[in-house]
Amino acid sequence: MHENMTSTAEISSGKDVAYENFPVGSWLLPAHLRPPIATFYDFARVTDDIADSPILPAAEKIERLNGYERALLGGEQHDAAYAKAHAMRRSLAETQTSARHCVDLLAAFKQDATKLRYKNWGELIGYCQLSAAPVGRYLIDLHGGSEDNYMSSDALCVALQILNHLQDVRADYLDLDRVYLPTGWFAEEGSNVTELRARQSSPAVRRILDRALDGVDDLLQTASAVGTAIVNTRLAMEAEVIYAIARKLAVKLRRNDPLGPRVVLSKGQYIYCGVAGVARAILHR
């Protein structure tokens, strides 16, 4: 274990399940699968927190994330610093689920440690395929689905990730000097990323934000089949709820300025999305 680490490689961002845009291990999912889903979330959260730390240097982030990967794959077996990776490894063995989705997440978080700018939409989508799509793929695998179910799930997860980037666009820039919005778009609009310091979007930044939301709308069009593509009924209901949340949040981000107060759904809007999503899933069964 690195000499700068104490009893754990963890570092907290203060984010938890209440911060997420989607329900984590909700009552919609089978009770016996909620513990492994919680283990997966804990693993993803702790490793994402390392990548998002504003105080750790990039090299230290990479070292810690590499330790989590070794522990996940069977190394570092006596190192308590990586307890959540050991728990994830045991959970994967118990559920007979592949570790590849966790490895993809770690690849994304290592990228976060060193890559602070994205030139174009394709680069951003490539990142989200590592940082977001594995979440849906893990859940599909856990519920006995197949790779045939991945396409609409990938689109939904990527759309949610980009919506999260838009929610945090100012904080990511100020705290981490990280900008996910394509730098090529800023150049095309005669703008630059320093405009993200402002508390209000300039016309150029608003056009860039709307362009990203146009891309999200395209992704959600592909994701619209997610409820019918997933075979497991309870996971389909969960996916439809998340789809409804993504749709509602995309609309709200068009109506509100992400450079102002963080744009989130109200409790009433979440309840509406829950009811609408479950109803949509039942109608499609």
Asked if residue 210 has pLDDT above 80, the reply is yes
Average pLDDT, the chain: 91
Confidence of residue 5 (pLDDT cuts 50, 70, 90): very low
- Percentage of the chain beyond pLDDT 70 is 90
For residue 15, the model assigns a pLDDT of: 61
d(CA 102, CA 123) in angstroms, rounded, equals: 21
pLDDT digits (tens, 9 = 90+) for 64-75: 999 999 999 997
CB 253 within 8 A of CB 261: no
Confidence of residue 2 (pLDDT cuts 50, 70, 90): very low
pLDDT digits (tens, 9 = 90+) for 103-143: 999 999 999 999 999 999 999 999 999 999 999 999 999 99
Asked if residue 209 has pLDDT above 80, the reply is yes
Model pTM greater than 0.85?
yes
For the chain, which residues make up each domain, given as ranges?
A: 29-103, 115-285
For the domain 115-285, what is the CATH superfamily, name and number?
Farnesyl Diphosphate Synthase (1.10.600.10)
CA angle 142, 97, 115 (to 5 degrees): 95
